[in-house]
Structure 1
Amino acid sequence: MSEDLYDPRFVKAVFDRCSDRYIAFSYICSMGFTERWRRQCVALMPAPAVAAPSGYDFMAGTGEVWPHLLKRFPDLGAITAVDISSGMHRRALERLHAMRAHKIAFIEDDLLASDLASESADFVVATFGLKTFNPEQHGRLAKLTARVLKPGGVFSMVEASDPKGWWLRPVYRLHLLVVLPLIERLFLRGAQDFAMIGTYSSKFGDASGLAEMMRAEGLEVTYHRLFFGCATAVTGRKR
């Protein structure tokens, strides 16, 4: 493949094309684990230092983490969703009728090129967008997270990962790299955009490298393996 998988224009095009069916595809083909891991991501996040926290949802996609944030923090101040995909933003807007829409704002932008204000967030959350960054971009994400968090601010990020050491790893990778593309080809007749999710996840590895980058930025970090390492998460706080 000649394209740069991590070029923001390439990433935007992939997720714009698959946005209409992303929610159903990701839920069904992960057998519900993506929703479970979103819930765990929010549950693992340390408690913010304020009673009505406001913060960012990085690579927000279709906003599937918002119900979990709103349930854990009934007095939540605001969520600012940042995502590069106009298609994902459109789908997220369609879902707002079931949410507290007045608490959610949108920024459609390349996250790493965005001009987010320093020390503007009590929390940062990111669910299943980490795989669309390469290691250099992960370093920039770590710097951005440290910059936008207020002192005492918290974060939690989760991503599907390569469960190295798990005896069922070959089955998991078969599902990711063979079964998902086959489902798309047979039933969705797409441009292999959903298959790219498996490619990104396979290349991502796990969140351990990001955890070290965040520690290097002075953040307190805990690394988590979920379901035998099929997903990994980083959580912590800015001192």
Structure 2
Amino acid sequence: MIDERTGTDIYDPVFVKDLFDRCSGKYIAFSYACSLGFTERWRRQCVELLDLSDCPDPTGYDLMAGTGEVWPHLFKAAPTLSKITAIDISSGMHVRALDRLHRHRAHKIEFIEDNVLDSKLETASADFVVSTFGLKTFNPDQHQALAALVARVLKPGGRFALIEASDPKGWFLRPLYMFHLKQVLPTVERLFLNGAQDFSMIGQYSTSFGNAAAFTEFLRAEGLEANCRKFFFGCATAAFGHKPFT
């Protein structure tokens, strides 16, 4: 898909990096306010799907980690959590994550600035893989590669949960939701953030993404036990499950 402003594929890693570098300074406030707080709730629910309560000293990956907003939920769900390795392509997000939000936990967090599909993560090295609101920045071919990565890095028995804002097709309030994404968000950015319609890309990515059903099938094709779940009438969907022991 081509961005009309730049003529660039919106799934190209260079485009994604530049977009989120520009957004990083105001991303946290914009995301929370314009989702009416739902993004924070969905992050917590995503971590609940991991169910790390019986996993001693877990280590894992936060893919497309952004500003690390899922980390407090991980530490609360698993107080003995040993290490999070966070991967994100945006240097701006990296700075916000470690400097503003989580300096006091930095000894348990390693941040890798890289396109996650190019990152050289060790095979069978993770008790869990989590991702919140990063799936939409990938096209189907990239989703397939990401599913293979999740399957490769998980230990047998390892858990995964990836959640994304979605298009709630069939919901009677969908027109209002789409109006919020495509009209309200760009207006807020234009009036209050002096942006270049960067945040409005969130709506375009989300509607193009659809929901997590197709990604769930990619995970199953890699041999994982995977399920798909809707949240708030399908405004968010998650792919979650585990890697079989055999």
TM-score range, shorter chain: over 0.9
Aligned mates of 2:62, 2:168 — CA distance in 1: 26
1:118–1:147 CA contact under 8 A, matched in 2: yes
Residues 1:14 and 2:19 are matched in the alignment: yes
1:180–1:194 CA contact under 8 A, matched in 2: yes
Residue among 50, 61, 77 paired with 1:56:
61
Percent identity between matched residues is: 66
Aligned mates of 2:98, 2:50 — CA distance in 1: 25
2:53–2:78 CA contact under 8 A, matched in 1: no
Residues 1:135 and 2:140 are matched in the alignment: yes
Partner residue in 1 for 2:214: 209
Residue among 51, 73, 92 paired with 1:46:
51
1:159–1:231 CA contact under 8 A, matched in 2: yes
Partner residue in 1 for 2:172: 167
Cα drift, residue 189 of structure 1: 1.0
The CA RMSD over aligned residues, in Å, is: 1.1
SS at match of 2:146: helix
Q: Which moved more, 1:42-51 or 1:27-36?
A: 42-51
Runs of 5+ unmatched residues, structure 2:
none
Q: Which moved more, 1:21-30 or 1:40-49?
A: 40-49
SS at match of 1:158: strand
Give every structure 1 segment of 4 or more consecutive aligned residues whose post-TM-superposition deviation is greater than 6 Å. Answer: none
Aligned mates of 1:130, 1:158 — CA distance in 2: 8
> What is the TM-score normalised by the length of structure 1?
0.98
1:166-205 matched pairs, under 5 angstroms: 166-205=171-210
2:53–2:77 CA contact under 8 A, matched in 1: no
Partner residue in 2 for 1:32: 37
Partner residue in 2 for 1:71: 76
Runs of 5+ unmatched residues, structure 1:
none
Q: Which moved more, 1:88-97 or 1:63-72?
A: 88-97
Residue among 108, 113, 117 paired with 1:112:
117
2:129–2:159 CA contact under 8 A, matched in 1: yes
Amino acid aligned to 2:242 = R
